[in-house]
């Protein structure tokens, strides 16, 4: 075997119940005035007020930017970057689900380096880019954004949803406290935990997986197989919620290097067009895409299948569907408001923005097959 690969050691991760008590002191290590990027949920759950109290104790000034929504927008990133510069903040605290964590990375990149956000998304600029120091605090266990330099943003004009990835955007410090996950409603737990499972499966199946990424991917898959249903049934089941949270954070570091494959490539047009939950789009697509892809890597699909209770590669799709039924996540695109009339736009958008993921799939998918899959899962 020829060993030749890259791996980014993830952020300084502090993991465990009660670690949210350290947010203020951690932020104080990086600056005097912090720009807090969040959505509305952290005010509702009381986390924001608690953290503001910690910052006041540490004598750290702050500006709260709480405009981030599900499937974060490029326009929100532009607004946040302007405000950060106006306020003279010297560091960033991102708190919430994957959306605020991703938006904070876009804000940091734009505010620190200039250009437009599309310049970074479409790689029109090159350089040694810099970031503000970021402290990331996830309150959902799906994106793994706290352990990588990836952000996925949607342009509201074109409905293009696409990621950017820079190692400078890896958080300086991530505080991962499974207690914070307990405020997730059940309709959020299913999509985010399935997103984490998809990251684990896709990063393992990716031809760019390497000896550093594989243990993160396979361990995350095993944790999720063991604990996902329990965490969905009872968000106060500590052992299960700790397990799925750990898995989500671990695999964030893996897929930053290995990349993600066709299910993520085909999902982004769905949540770009209809603002659906990313995990529900993945649930609609993943089993069928895998059934179209088995011949590209039968041994790896067999491993995934066995982890999820199947026998071999041929029942991989079935094993995933059975898992989805146990967490009330059997999804068809028509449930999410799509019709057959959307298939041409979805196919073209996927081809325009996600061709690299289709090519990276164990069996590369062509345009006709992409169109066929969208129709099959309608
Ligand atoms: Fe994802």
Instruction: State the helix-helix crossing angle for 213-233 and 186-205, rounded to 10 degrees.
Output: 160
User: From the CA of 25, how far away is ligand 1's center (Å)?
Assistant: 30
User: From the CA of 149, how far away is ligand 1's center (Å)?
Assistant: 14
Are the CB atoms for 267 and 282 separated by under 8 Å?
yes
Q: Which two tokens stand for residue 243?
A: 């397990």
User: From the CA of 264, how far away is ligand 1's center (Å)?
Assistant: 6
User: From the CA of 344, how far away is ligand 1's center (Å)?
Assistant: 23
Say what the pLDDT of residue 71 is. 92
Say what the pLDDT of residue 7 is. 79
Residue 2 pLDDT greater than 70, yes or no? no
User: From the CA of 33, how far away is ligand 1's center (Å)?
Assistant: 31
Q: If DSSP codes are grouped into helix, strand and coil, which group holds residue 115?
A: coil
CATH number for 12-180 (one of 3.40.50.720, 3.30.470.20, 3.40.50.1970, 1.10.3720.10): it is: 3.40.50.1970
For CA atoms 173, 142, 100, 121, the dihedral sign is positive
**Domain with residues 186-376, CATH architecture:** Up-down Bundle (1.20)
User: From the CA of 314, how far away is ligand 1's center (Å)?
Assistant: 24
* pLDDT tens digits for range 127-169: 999 999 999 999 999 999 999 999 999 999 999 999 999 999 9
* pLDDT tens digits for range 266-290: 999 999 999 999 999 999 999 999 9
Say what the pLDDT of residue 97 is. 95
User: From the CA of 141, how far away is ligand 1's center (Å)?
Assistant: 11
User: From the CA of 196, how far away is ligand 1's center (Å)?
Assistant: 7
User: From the CA of 204, how far away is ligand 1's center (Å)?
Assistant: 14
User: From the CA of 29, how far away is ligand 1's center (Å)?
Assistant: 30
Give the helix/strand (H/E) hosting 198: helix 186-205
User: From the CA of 195, how far away is ligand 1's center (Å)?
Assistant: 5
For the whole model, what pTM was predicted? 0.97
User: From the CA of 95, how far away is ligand 1's center (Å)?
Assistant: 18
Strand residues in the chain grouped as ranges (E) = 12-15, 33-37, 61-65, 91-96, 134-138, 150-154, 161-165, 173-176
Q: List the beta bridge partners of residue 185.
A: none
Return residue ranges of the chain for CATH 3.40.50.1970.
Answer: 12-180
User: From the CA of 312, how far away is ligand 1's center (Å)?
Assistant: 25
User: From the CA of 91, how far away is ligand 1's center (Å)?
Assistant: 26
Q: Which two tokens stand for residue 280?
A: 């529900």
User: From the CA of 1, how far away is ligand 1's center (Å)?
Assistant: 30
Residue 1 pLDDT greater than 70, yes or no? no
Average pLDDT over residues 360-372: 98
Return residue ranges of the chain for CATH 1.20.1090.10.
Answer: 186-376
Q: Which two tokens stand for residue 264?
A: 């993520």
For the chain, the average pLDDT equals 96
């Amino acid at each position: 075997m020829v060993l030749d690969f890259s791996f980014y050691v993830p952020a300084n991760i502090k993991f465990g119940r009660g670690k949210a008590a350290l947010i203020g002191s951690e932020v104080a290590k990086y600056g005097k005035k912090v720009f807090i990027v969040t959505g509305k949920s952290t005010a509702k759950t009381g986390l924001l007020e608690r953290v503001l109290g910690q910052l006041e104790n540490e004598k750290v000034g702050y500006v709260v930017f709480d405009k981030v929504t599900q499937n974060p927008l490029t326009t929100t990133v532009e607004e946040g970057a302007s405000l950060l510069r106006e306020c003279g903040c010297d560091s960033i605290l991102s708190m919430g689900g994957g959306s605020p964590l991703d938006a904070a990375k876009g804000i940091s990149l734009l505010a620190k380096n200039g250009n437009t956000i599309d310049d970074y998304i479409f790689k029109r600029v090159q350089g040694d880019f810099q970031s503000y120091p970021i402290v990331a605090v996830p309150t959902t266990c799906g994106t793994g954004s706290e352990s990588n330099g990836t952000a996925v943003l949607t342009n509201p004009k074109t409905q293009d949803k696409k990621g950017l990835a820079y190692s400078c955007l890896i958080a300086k410090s991530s505080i991962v406290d499974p207690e914070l996950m307990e405020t997730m409603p059940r309709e959020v737990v299913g999509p985010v935990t399935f997103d984490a499972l998809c990251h684990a499966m896709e990063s393992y199946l990716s031809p760019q997986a390497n000896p550093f990424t594989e243990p993160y991917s396979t361990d995350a898959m095993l944790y999720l197989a063991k604990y996902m249903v329990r965490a969905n049934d009872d968000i106060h089941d500590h052992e299960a919620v700790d397990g799925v949270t750990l898995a989500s954070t671990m695999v964030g570091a893996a897929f930053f290097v290995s990349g993600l494959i066709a299910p993520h490539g085909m999902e982004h047009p769905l949540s770009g067009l209809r603002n659906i939950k990313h995990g529900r789009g993945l649930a609609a697509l993943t089993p069928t895409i895998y059934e179209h892809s088995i011949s590209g890597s039968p041994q790896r699909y067999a491993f995934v299948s066995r982890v999820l209770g199947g026998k071999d590669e041929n029942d991989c799709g079935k094993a995933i569907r059975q898992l989805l039924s146990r967490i009330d996540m059997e999804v068809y695109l028509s449930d999410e408001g799509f019709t057959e009339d959307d298939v041409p736009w979805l196919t073209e958008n996927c081809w325009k923005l996600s061709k690299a993921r289709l090519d990276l799939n164990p069996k590369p998918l062509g345009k006709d097959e992409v169109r066929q899959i969208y129709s099959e899962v309608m």
